[in-house]
Structure 1
């Protein structure tokens, strides 16, 4: 009965959100209905991801969730880049990185820690993730520092080279973690703790529903983002706050729920892969792809982020590394991550 109500709500909210968008209804009403639709679609994506993870393993399942979740954001960002809204794009990228490291990981660790006293995941994977996060910081700091002495042409050239190197590094990381060192970075499951369940869907159906949920997420996210500017104007929200927090939270809603659901089932390895893996994918792949795509469009975007954005990303990486480096988590560590996220949120709001 509960499942039927969920799918009824999913279909109804999705149709209502689309109808309001194409009928150009009141922006506030569109925003509220689209938020409701995102919640249902996120739950649907979480179920599909969990089912795929059962067949493919937690790491691959988490990677697929992060990839499909970021695909929607990448599509939206490409349209923003095309229109030359570079500041909004960089703010939303910043929000996605800190949102996944602090909000998604924080909620997952808190929720899982309240149900299980202590949860574990692969410590070697956590160490490699930390190194990759520091690589992301270095790749963002260098262009920002050297741009003070460079011309616009030189800054764009440096950004393109850095973007290409980051994409290569990310692809090699996938080869390293999924192929050559797959066993060493395999999921850790504590006997007697994980809840073994048989998925309701077959492997092929799970993959199809994951693709369907991703398409629905992309559509609802686009409808929702289209109402953000008018909605924010009514409440006096700044562009930096909109890009770094509002759009980022909306765009990553699916990953939020999926990671929390997996943590509640003591599948912390998959939850960490979604949260941290998604941040790495944004920093090492999505942002570089946008730089190269903008260059191909003839309107190049550089990798020069503002001081506030760099500070926020650095703080998020430091606290996430400190908490995840031992391969164990508890509910209080989730609280710490969420506190840092709230501090940054207040700071961005005031800016």
Structure 2
């Protein structure tokens, strides 16, 4: 999208502002406006690489680098000890993908094409995996209410690592499932269109440069979180669960909507549900492992985050039942998202 390329002007502006020691909340806004087009460039780079690597590897790269922005932002938040923001951004990414992205995709696609269909088997596998992942997140939270609080520091840290290892192992097995043992299920989604606009060298260079710049901008962004929460009266939960996921995944979100408008609901569903799956089974465990280098982060989510996650996953399972979607289902998903966002806003 052309508007994303114009937004790249905020990258040098943010560097100048940092040099001039601009207020933290200004740096937060400039970093947010810079990350959105950089994430778009990263997505474009992986898409170009997929023309050389093949559709299956390309799809995997798109999913992985689609969540790279979220991982980088969370890394710097983790480094500063903002655990509530990190966990809220994990929950927010899943909720945003399933309710906001999928809702907008179904609404836009449904208004243009009335009823759209998608590969029911693929979505059922992904949504079932999501349900398992949320169960994995619920168990540690229940554990905190049943064990002596004085033992939590010693026992719970180990439980978080164990849960993270199991989730990461399931993620690896899901790749084996989709790439080898049951790749026939996914064959409907491996159409490659068009030819590469960039050379492989250019695509890799753009991907590397965009990743480095996102890392720098993420440090600016995280440095301004506390200032923004105080200046605008926002809670860290709202920033983590609503703002950061939207900033980090804006380019990916727009891609899902464009695919739905082109009547490619399979691709839109994969972006929304597949990305959510990768957030819980890959990004969350990796962040737990990284936290061991600083201050270990628990994998306990608060009650409302868990309820919001469970509601989102149950809706994803319900939507995938018939293999069809329409604009009204999109409106329903968006309504739930707005209710959840409003609830976190007033916290």
TM-score range, shorter chain: 0.7 to 0.9
2:160 corresponds to which residue?
A: 159
Distance 1:49 1:77, change over 3 A: same
User: Which of these residues, 303, 310, 329, is aligned with residue 333 of structure 1?
Assistant: 329
User: Which of these residues, 295, 299, 319, is aligned with residue 323 of structure 1?
Assistant: 319
Residue 307 of structure 2 corresponds to residue 306 of structure 1: no
Distance 1:296 1:231, change over 3 A: closer
Matches within 5 A, 1:114-125: 114-125=111-122
Residue 289 of structure 1 deviates from its aligned partner by 1.8
- Indicate conservation of the 8 Å contact 1:38/1:253, yes or no: no
- Indicate conservation of the 8 Å contact 1:103/1:337, yes or no: yes
1:97 corresponds to which residue?
A: 94
Residue 237 of structure 2 corresponds to residue 236 of structure 1: no
After TM superposition, the structure 1 stretch with the greater mean CA deviation from structure 2, 277-286 or 81-90, is 81-90
1:179 corresponds to which residue?
A: 180
- Indicate conservation of the 8 Å contact 1:49/1:65, yes or no: yes
Residue 175 of structure 1 deviates from its aligned partner by 1.1
Aligned residues: 343
- Indicate conservation of the 8 Å contact 1:21/1:30, yes or no: yes
User: Separation in 1 of the partners of 2:201 and 2:343?
Assistant: 45
Structure 1 unmatched ranges of 5 or more: none
User: Separation in 2 of the partners of 1:43 and 1:265?
Assistant: 19
The Cα RMSD (Å) is 2.8
TM-score by length of 1: 0.86
| Residues 190-218 of structure 1 deviation map (CA, whole Å, 9 limit, x = unaligned) | xxxx9964453345544543444444444
User: Separation in 1 of the partners of 2:184 and 2:15?
Assistant: 44
| Residues 180-239 of structure 1 deviation map (CA, whole Å, 9 limit, x = unaligned) | 2222222359xxxx9964453345544543444444444434433433332332221112
Matches within 5 A, 1:12-161: 12-52=9-49, 60-150=57-147, 151-152=151-152, 153-161=154-162
TM-score by length of 2: 0.87
User: Separation in 1 of the partners of 2:9 and 2:240?
Assistant: 28
Secondary structure at the aligned position of 2:176 is classed as helix
- Indicate conservation of the 8 Å contact 2:28/2:224, yes or no: yes
Residue 24 of structure 1 deviates from its aligned partner by 2.2
Structure 2 unmatched ranges of 5 or more: none
Secondary structure at the aligned position of 1:119 is classed as strand
Distance 1:118 1:20, change over 3 A: farther
Distance 1:302 1:31, change over 3 A: closer
User: Separation in 2 of the partners of 1:49 and 1:266?
Assistant: 22
